[in-house]
Structure 1
Amino acid sequence: MVTLLSDGVFLRNGEELIEAKSVQAHDAGWDAKEAAKQTMAYRILKTHQQADGMENLKLKFDALASHDITYVGIIQTAIASGLNEFPIPYILTNCHNSLAAVGGTINEDDHVFGLSAVKRFGGTYVPPHMAVIHQYMREMMAGGGKMILGSDSHTRYGALGTIAIGEGGPELVKQLLGRTYDIKRPGVIAIYLKGKPGHGIGPQDVALAIEKAVFANGFVKNKIMEFVGPGVSELSVDFRNGVDVMSTETTCLSTVWRTDDKVKNFLALHGRPDAFKEMNPGEVAYYDGAVVVDMSKLESMIAMPFHPSNVYTIKEVNEGGKELLRHIEEQAVNQLDNTSLTLGLADKYYDGKMHCDQGIIVGCSGGLYENLVAAANIVGGKSVGNGRFAFSVYPSSQPIYLELMKNGALVDLMEAGAIVRTAFCGPCFGAGDTPNNEGFSVRHATRNFPNREGSKPGNGQISSVGLMDARSVAATAINGGALTPATEVAYDESVPEYHFDGKPYEHKVYSGFGHADAKEELVYAPSIKPWPSIEALNDNIVLKVAAYIDDPVTTTDELIPSGETSSYRSDPYALSEFALNRKVPEYVGRAKAVRAMEKARQEGKLAELADPYEAVTTAMQLQVTPEEFWSHASIGSVIYANKPGDGSAREQAASCQRVLGGAANIAREYATKRYRSNVMNWGMLPFLIDETDKNAFGVGDYIWVPNVRKILESGEDTYTAYVIDAKGHTKEITLHLGELEAEERQIMTAGCLINHYAKA
């Protein structure tokens, strides 16, 4: 079904995979370094490279995209850094806080601010309920050979020939200011598709099979996944888009697919024939590895709580019964801080199947035209029942909604008892359609992290999500919530031809790129607050450990929960109150106490810093006065986590730490480049530590890092630090920052991205 080739492969004529270590490759005399230039990814990167060579990339993008959880902070940061006009198309969508349901006027206030900003700076504004961010970008912006940067982790338009990358907001700020995205040239992994998906198999089944194979081993981490092979031709563009967007869950950097007449027709249908570019690898292309997917052997899949890589076949879950469900629940609950909670999974097994409480088809992965047509074909003429099971679908754009209305698919869905909603990302991040306590929801959505569906374990409320394809969600719906693979349901697989009607966009989307109006006033509101001032990095730093998280992986949703908290994203202070509140509820109070000490230091109230001063000077035998010590040292909090940053690109996972006085993170490794970049762009030090040293400190300990600024500026990467516990015991540890670009050093030295650009 899925096979990994890890030692490097050549692809000949786009069809034949040959392992680099094989006799055939040796006899042919192929050179891996030269053949690597024949990948589609290399060619796109080269056309966007602003510097010499191809090892250290400095990239400029063709367009930017943000939604209403991220764009206010990005624009505020850019304004503070000198923004005058959007230099490239910048699309603001309103698909996350569309409902304006929490926090009074603050959500709609942000929407009003967004519209005023695109009028002032020359951008595009997509109103609430019109389209989810990634569907709009597929329909109206992506194209062959382009690069697009988005402040959402699922920024993926590879199926249309675009390398699209999801990053934290500060990286978009750099593009708005005419700067570059700096990165070492990433490796490229071939995703070689062969065969044809069978009856009942949809894009989520393909995506989850890949996710299962590559996540835990980091096979594609921070690399570009290049989709090739004869199987690509067997898939519609809609199907490709559905697979592509889920690639984010592998922790890859981005994707790109070979293009063909199907892509050409898709772009022409959407009124953009010039956006098509035929793209294929060269005659002989080299890849750092390959994932071979035989789609003809795939079964209906389900990702069980709490990660998209925790994948089983639906058949396995049903045949495994209560015993397997107890095992799944035990693993899942171990990821929660409150292990007394139960998901009730085993209790949902009876009559030979697991039973579900809810089915959702939504967002940039689920709400696509063909997914909803398939769901309508399955439920048409049947009933989802009047029992506990609830079924909702969300078309991902108004044009898709309109076409489903015209061809009768919505009639079939609604007559069966489905609730049809507008374009909205809410269920994907915990805002809307939250299941009941101990409820289990099956969803064609992007993620099933803990609390992602909106539950609150800290309040004793817990529910969970299984990810599966829209076809199996619909099959489960007509069986009263009994978990059912679509492969076992007879239905018409024909899909009516799609007719794109762009009138909703023509009549309601504001398109102002190239027409900035400096006389247009930005419309602020009480909830839109500026970023606090941040000081530059001092010579030395005292860190106080405010949270120690020993989970294998810590998601950005755990660092700053999504859902209702996202309504406060335009007020850095209000949002920071939620930092780690579902993982380490004590963190905010601890961090604030350290922040208060740093504020006292800046104001010269040194008596309030007696404890850290005494602890460090005594342990290190420093003969300095408080005035001398604190003139060359700052104090800030630090979080330890083994592998933080999996999941969302939201910069708030880092900025909330900074607002609370965070000065550094310490980790064994960082789950994603985007989270590490967020940490650095907000002026915090993303320290790395060896396994042997990670147990040397705990919550409440001080960590003294002398000469931190000097070492950072020198380009060296060994920071000798000293842990000082409550009893005055001292232990030496070694920290590293890993590979850094010159500008990243400058940003951290300046204290944050805003300071760095203010100095420029």
Structure 2
Amino acid sequence: MVEIINKGTYLYNGNTIIAHDDDINIDKIAAQVKEIASVKELLNSDKARKNTIAYSILMNHNKSGDEKNLRIKFDAMASHDITYVGIIQTAKASGLKEFPIPYVLTNCHNSLCAVGGTINEDDHMFGLSAAKKYGGIYVPAHQAVIHQYMREMMASCGSMILGSDSHTRYGALGTMAVGEGGPELVKQLLNKTYDVSSPEVIAVYLEGKPKAGVGPQDVALAIIGAVFKKGFVKNKVMEFVGPGISNLSVDYRNGIDVMTTETTCLSSIWCTDDKVEEYYKIHGREESYAKLQPGLVAYYDGLIKVDLSKVEPMIALPFHPSNVYAIAELNKNAKEILTAVEADVQKQIDNPKIKFGLADKIIDGRIRVDQGIVAGCSGGTYENIHKVAGIMNANSIGNDYFTMNVYPASQPIYMQLIKDGSIGKLMETGSIVKTAFCGPCFGAGDVPANNGFSIRHTTRNFPNREGSKPGAGQISAVALMDAMSIAATAVNGGYLTPATEIDVPDEEINYNFNSKVYENRVYFGFQKAEKESELKYGPNIADWPAMPALSENILLKMVSVINDPVTTTDELIPSGETSSYRSNPLKLAEFALSRKDPEYVGRAKAVQELETLRSTAIKENRVLDTELINVFEAANGGSSENLKELIRNTEVGSVIFAIKPGDGSAREQAASCQRVLGGAANIAEEYATKRYRSNLINWGMIPFIIDSSENSFEVGDYIFVKDIRQAIASGREAFNAKVISAKGNRNITLKISSLTEDEKDIILSGCLINYYANK
């Protein structure tokens, strides 16, 4: 089904794989493609890697003149109503005058306006006023989820788009898109660049044709299950090639593509063809199409081979999209698999008072779920919902505990589903059809009952992404599935059913896009900035607090130690109802790590008080409190000589340790909330994604790395790093540090890899806002 080739691989004419191995004589490889003249010249990896689609697009957007160290300028950007207020506030504080490129502000995350009084709608009014003042594009609530709007209206072949949402992926439409934290969008708004080392490119070679009942989520989960734990495509570009692409509709391709985020890749790109050309024609944007394909011989740093004909209906069990099983296998071994998942989940939640059950969903030997959801940028496409309606037509979901909710991803999709009768079919089954909303993807809509089990065609199933609150004794779970298998399950009364076990209607799908809803409602203000107009501030919208520049030395106090294999951004700052406070840095910070380590905020604030005591004592020429005096003496080798000077030049900040933090969302608040509470660094064995590491840097926090052999931190430990400012400025990548602990002191080595000159300056300045203010 999915085969990984973990070595350099050539692709000839977009279809023929030529595995490359240093042990194979180049003449022997050349013999496989006799029709090519000068084969030895073509089979040169340095030259052939320039024949990938990704290379061409990256170089067309690179402003550095250096093929290895890229400085990218994007063609357009997108943010939603959880992120755009903070981005615009940061850019405004850094000197923003006008949006230099099309910037789309959608309202698909906080669109319910159900928590926190007026504050969500206040954010929307701020967004519209910002679009007017700076020349943006404003998409009101319920019109479209962010990525569907970008597909319909902004993607184009050969372009690049940056979004402040991790699922910014439009590769199937010929657009290389990247999801990043807000500060990276701020840089683009200020005419700066997105700086990244030239990424490796991994070919995803598709062959065959999916069998009836196998949908895009099945293919995506199969790929994620094969590559995630190996880190095979981490921070790389996935380039989809091969003859199987022609067997997939564009909606199908989009459904696979949007899930590439869950592999931890940097971006994605696909070959384009007449189906993509037709997509652009349907959407009235013929000029946006161009044929994209690799050169005659292209070199890839690895290859994922997917036989679409062998993919089965899949399910990703709690609590990660990579926890993948074939549904048939799960049904066959339900007790064994679900019991094992229960045990893993119990370890994750680390709370014996909360009892998480999945095996109790087995009724008479079959798994019965409580809820089905088809929504968002992955599930809410026209074809998905049209097929769901066809499968469920003339059936009933019943009047028992099972419920079914469907969210078309945009109003144009909704309109077409009404016209073709799909909405009526769904409503007759007892399903509820709702407007475009991302809530079921991040824990702000359709929360199941305690211990409920929801199956969803959405993007993620991390802990609490369904909205439960373990700290309050509540927990429920999400499994990811394709829309067709969710429909098959609904038809069978909530009993888990792969769509391959039912008759899936085979009918031609014709889609007509009606742009009137956007023309009549969306504010199109690009290049029409009303610079004298005022921003509209609701009472919850607050500026960022002042943040200090990096001191000569740094004393860190460990306030949280997380030894899970991977820590998600949802665990660092919960999604769901907390999103209402994302326009207020101080209020939002109160939720930091609240579901993973409820004591974190109190500990971090206590460290902030220590820093206040230190700075106040210096100003008033007073002696520090006993705890800090003893720690500083230990940091000074047990000597009191020159201690006052050491204290004067050493900031005290909090730090967290996690083995591999930052998987999942691009939300900058996973880092900024720590910074607002006095965080000065993270220490990790590795960072799960580039975007989380970038978020730390942009908020002035040092992304330290430590070898696993030296990782034995406990809450309350102090870590002293001498001459950190000079070391970072000079480009050092290894730092001697001292751990000062109740169990004894020890020396360790902390590392930082590959900081750009700008990243060094941002850390030295204390954050991105300070960096621009200094300039």
TM range (shorter): over 0.9
Residue 29 of structure 2, aligned match among 13, 22, 25: 25
TM-score (norm 1): 0.99
- In the other structure, the counterpart of 2:675 is 658
CA shift, 1:317, in A, is: 1.0
Partner of 2:97 in structure 1? 84
Q: Does 1:617 align with 2:630?
A: no
Instruction: From the superposition, tell whether residues 7 and 496 of structure 1 become closer, same or farther in structure 2 (CA, over 3 Å).
Output: closer
Distance 2:232 2:642 in 1: 52
Instruction: Measure how far apart 1:228 and its partner are.
Output: 0.2
Provide the C-alpha distance between the structure 2 equivalents of 1:321 and 1:57, rounded to a whole number of angstroms: 48
Q: Deviations over 1:624-653 (max 9, x none)?
A: 466422221100000000000000000000
Partner of 2:602: 589
SS at structure 2 position matched to 1:542: strand
Residue number among 517, 528, 531 corresponding to 2:544 in the alignment: 531
Q: Secondary structure at the match of 1:414?
A: helix
The Cα shift of 1:607 comes to: 4.5
CA–CA distance in structure 1, aligned partners of residues 202 and 625 of structure 2: 52
- 1:315 counterpart letter in structure 2: A
Cross-structure match for 1:179: 192
Gaps of at least 5 residues in structure 1 are: none
The one of 680, 688, 695 aligned to 1:671: 688
SS of the counterpart of 2:709? coil
Letter in 1 for 2:62: Q
Cα distance in 2 between the residues matched to 1:79 and 1:43: 34
- Aligned residue in 2 for 1:645: 662
Would you say 1:198 and 2:211 are equivalent positions? yes
Query: Which of the numbers 291, 294, 312 marks the counterpart of 2:325?
Result: 312
Q: Which residue of 2 aligns with 1:352?
A: 365
SS of equivalent residue, structure 1 residue 692: helix
> In 1, Cα distance between the equivalents of 2:590 and 2:623?
27
* Corresponding letter in the other structure for 2:733: D
Q: Which region of structure 1 is more displaced relative to structure 2, 332-341 or 682-691?
A: 332-341
Question: How many residue pairs align between the two structures?
Answer: 758
Structure 2 Cα separation of the partners of residues 215 and 720 of structure 1: 33
Equivalent position of 2:765 in the other structure: 750
Aligned to 1:545: 558
Deviation, structure 1 residue 740: 1.1
SS of 2:708's equivalent in the other structure is coil
**Partner in structure 1 of residue 506 of structure 2:** 493
TM-score, normalised with respect to structure 2? 0.97
Shift of 1:601: 2.9
Provide, for residues 526-550 of structure 1, a one-character-per-residue CA deviation record: whole Å limited to 9, x for no partner: 1000001111100000000000000
Matches of 1:598 and 1:473, distance apart in 2: 53
Q: Structure 2 CA distance, aligned partners of 1:322 and 1:37?
A: 50
Q: For structure 2, list consecutive stretches of 5 or more residues without a partner in the other structure.
A: 32-38
Which residue of the partner structure matches residue 93 of structure 1? Answer: 106
**Which amino acid counterpart does residue 712 of structure 1 have in structure 2?**
I
> How far, CA to CA, are the matches of 2:456 and 2:508 in structure 1?
22
Determine if contact 1:143/1:275 at 8 Å carries over to the other structure.
yes
What SS does structure 2 have at the residue aligned with 1:130?
Answer: coil
2:756 aligned with 1:741: yes
Q: Counterpart in 1 of 2:746? A: 731
Using the alignment, how far apart are the partners of 2:144 and 2:45 within structure 1? 43
Q: C-alpha separation between the residues in 2 aligned to 1:26 and 1:263?
A: 33
1:73-117 Cα shifts (integer Å, max 9, x gaps): 000000000000000000000000000110111100000000000
- Residue of structure 2 in register with 1:715 after alignment: 731
Matched, 1:636 2:653: yes
Q: Does 1:567 align with 2:580?
A: yes
In 1, distance between residues paired with 2:125 and 2:172?
Answer: 33
> Residue type of the partner of 1:655?
S
User: How many Å separate the matches in 1 of 2:525 and 2:752?
Assistant: 42
Which residue matches 1:8? 8
1:224 matches 2:241: no
8 Å Cα contact 1:616/1:724 also seen in 2: no
CA separation of 1:342/1:493 partners in 2, compared to 1, >3 Å: closer, same or farther? Answer: farther
Give the superposition deviation at 1:615: 1.5
State the alpha-carbon separation in 1 of the partners of residues 127 and 282 from structure 2. 29
SS in 1 for 2:602: helix
Identity of aligned residues (%): 60
Cα distance in 1 for residues equivalent to 2:135 and 2:569? 31
Letter in 2 for 1:641: A
Aligned partner (choices 121, 144, 160) of residue 131 of structure 1: 144
The aligned residue for residue 313 of structure 2 is: 300
Q: How far apart are residue 502 of structure 1 and its match?
A: 0.7
Distance 1:732 1:271 in 2: 64
SS of residue matched to 1:334: helix
Aligned-partner SS, 1:435: coil
Q: Distance in 2 between matches of 1:601 and 1:510?
A: 50
Q: Report the alpha carbon displacement of residue 597 of structure 1 after superposing the two structures with TM.
A: 1.8
| 1:306-455 paired onto structure 2 within 5 Å | 306-455=319-468
Give the AA of the match of 2:291.
E
Instruction: Measure the CA separation in 2 of the matches of 1:281 and 1:640.
Output: 42
Distance 1:493 1:613, change over 3 A: farther
Aligned-partner Cα distance in 2 for 1:370–1:503:
21
Contact 1:546 1:700 in 2 (8 A): yes
Give the structure 1 partner of residue 35 of structure 2: none
2:83 to 57, 65, 70: 70
Deviation, 1:25, is: 2.8
Q: How far off its partner does 1:460 sit?
A: 1.1
Q: CA RMSD in A?
A: 1.1
Residues 374 and 493 in structure 1, CA contact (< 8 A), matched pair in contact too: no
The equivalent position to 2:474 in structure 1, one of 450, 461, 477, is 461
Give deviations 1:469-527, integer Å, cap 9, x for gaps.
00000100011110000001113132431000011100000000000011111001110
Task: Give how far 1:708 is off.
Answer: 0.3
Deviation at 1:458, TM superposition (A): 1.1
- Structure 2: distance between partners of 1:35 and 1:339: 56
Q: Which amino acid aligns with 1:758?
A: A
Counterpart CA distance in 1 for 2:623 and 2:461 is 48
Letter of the structure 1 residue corresponding to residue 739 of structure 2: V
Question: Counterpart of 2:19 in structure 1: which amino acid?
Answer: E
Which among 677, 702, 714 is matched to residue 718 of structure 2?
702
C-alpha distance in 2, partners of 1:711/1:414? 64
- Is the 2:412–2:514 Cα contact (8 Å) retained in structure 1? yes
Q: Look up the equivalent residue of 1:180 and give its one-letter code.
A: T
Amino acid at match of 2:772: Y
CA contact (8 A) 2:157 2:289 kept: yes
User: Match of 2:34?
Assistant: none
Equivalent residue letter for 2:650: A
Deviation larger for 265-274 or 198-207: 265-274
Structure 1 residues 189 and 448: alpha-carbon distance in aligned structure 2, compared to 1, 3 A threshold: same
Shift of 1:212: 0.4
Of residues 209, 231, 245, the one that matches 2:222 is 209
Aligned AA (1:731): R
CA contact (8 A) 2:412 2:515 kept: yes
State the secondary structure of the residue aligned to 1:634. strand
CA–CA distance in structure 2, aligned partners of residues 395 and 618 of structure 1: 61
Q: Which stretch has the larger CA shift, 561-570 or 268-277?
A: 268-277
